[in-house]
Amino acid sequence: MPATRLLRLIDPERAHTAAVRLLSAWGATGTVLRPRVPRLETRVAGLTFANPLGLAAGVDKDARAIPGWFALGFGAVEVGTLTPLPQPGNAKPRLFRLHEDAAVINRFGFNNGGQAEGIARAGAATRGGVLGINVGANKDAADRVADYVAGVTAAARVADYVTINISSPNTPRLRDLQEGAALRDLLAACRAAKGATPLFLKVAPDLSPTQIDDIARAAIDGGADALIMGNTTVSRPALASRHKGETGGLSGAPLRALARERLSDFRRATGGALPLVAVGGVDTGAEAYARIRAGASLVQVYTAMVYGGPGLPARMLRELDALLRRDGFACVADAVGVD
């Protein structure tokens, strides 16, 4: 039985941990699966990406398998979320596969071994592309802005870009940092801490039109270099799985329609003045291409890896290359926002 099928038979969180460990071991000696597709090279926020396909934060929280992820084909790998102090996260069980829906619900709560170990591990790793480090605040932090500043300061010494994640639904009141003055103060503090390293802002898909406009303006005025739209959703479209009633953030195929809508909303709200990174229900080269045409400069995957397996990134890249060639685009940047 293939290892990926075997992993699906065991507890989801144990399977996730085992998969990262396997990839960590394989990454040092395994065959590089990334196809050579020069058309896919693109430049965003002053960084050159071999291709626009990235691994989203949350898959490799503690930066344990960076070479392996790049070997699978990703042009960028974003590790974390890392908090200043180690924390166990929420009580188990906290990860649920929704097989019938090609989805996942998680309520991890920023479980990680802390920034000191994670950032050191990331700095020592051999990288085959752009490395992002995603930082957050500890659940019991007295000053969450100070936690983000500490994370940005430490991660900027190592990462090609740093993401401030204020969009997880699994840390109480974290999403309040997306609002008004709180967001502007956070961006100002993190901008001062980042030095020359690009700063990305990751926001939720569960936003009103007024919130979208306010976040877009704050991100532009606050000097963010890109905006990642988005994270998991607390909304619940129609689902078939027996786990559909679990609390937490929903990701995967059922998030696709909402993620597409929010990407278009932020493209409109930013007027193309800020690069956008699309996340949520991206599981094929065709879907990645649709997001690019809708305004995304980069795309990321997470849940699709659970159902698509390790060959998914290479398949997506070949399909994306074929679609660009079919439509006469010489490079990814030429297709961004054409729709």
Active site residues: 168
Q: Are 118 and 79 in contact (CB under 8 A)?
A: yes
Helices (H) and strands (E) in the chain, counts: 12, 13
Comparing CA positions, the residue from 300, 245, 268 lying closest to residue 107 is: 245
Q: Number of C-alpha atoms within 13 angstroms, CB side, residue 101? A: 24
Comparing CA positions, the residue from 295, 301, 278, 299 lying closest to residue 335 is: 295
Q: What are phi and psi of 192, to 5 degrees?
A: -70, -25
Comparing CA positions, the residue from 242, 199, 194, 234 lying closest to residue 218 is: 199
Encode burial over 18-33: b for 16+ CB neighbours within 10 A, e otherwise: ebbebbbebbeeeeeb
Q: What are phi and psi of 16, to 5 degrees?
A: -60, -50
DSSP for 133-169 reads: EEE---TT-S-HHHHHHHHHHHHTTT-SEEEEE---T
Per DSSP, 170 falls in state T
Q: Which residues make Cβ contacts (< 8 Å) with residue 213, sequence separation at least 6?
A: 269
Distance CA 106, CA 232 (A): 9
Comparing CA positions, the residue from 96, 89, 101, 53 lying closest to residue 74 is: 53
**What's the start-to-end Cα distance of the chain, in Å?**
43
Instruction: Quote the Cα angle for 81-85-90, to 5°.
Output: 65
